[in-house]
Amino acid sequence: MPVGIYKHPIGWKHSLETRKKMSLSMRGKKHNTKQNWIQNGYRYIRLLSHPYRTKKGYVLEHRLIMEKHLGRYLKKYEHIHHINGNRLDNRIENLELTDIKNHMSYHAKKNYLLRDRDLLGRFI
């Protein structure tokens, strides 16, 4: 077992002494102040004033761009489709406003057409 770590009923925990050392080592250092990050191919922007932000205060960049273009907040049921499939390409020309039903239908059709088939046209 590593020094300074002990087993707690909930999980592994750092000892009080180790936590003090970690705290002292962070003094004077700048903490992570990320304003944007990428997850699952989508870029998130930190915007604490947005009504549909995540618990940590982030909003998807493509939603912000579409909201600015429309001049209003998007509804929760409105989805944004990336026309060229690149989730980081958030130019307004590449974004299309849709609802979840049409968005899922589009991707289902696309995936259906892309599946491999044998010589008789059957799915492999």
**pLDDT tens-digit profile of 69-85?**
999 999 988 999 998 88
Residues 40 and 19 in one domain: no
Is the pLDDT reported for residue 65 higher than 60?
Answer: yes
First-to-last alpha carbon distance for the chain, in angstroms, is 49
Cβ 76 vs Cβ 60: under 8 Å: no
Structure tokens at 71: 């001049």
Domain span including residue 16: 1-31
Cβ 107 vs Cβ 85: under 8 Å: no
Q: Beta-carbon neighbour count of residue 90 at 10 Å?
A: 19
> Does residue 51 form part of some domain?
yes
> Does residue 7 form part of some domain?
yes
**pTM to 2 decimals?**
0.61
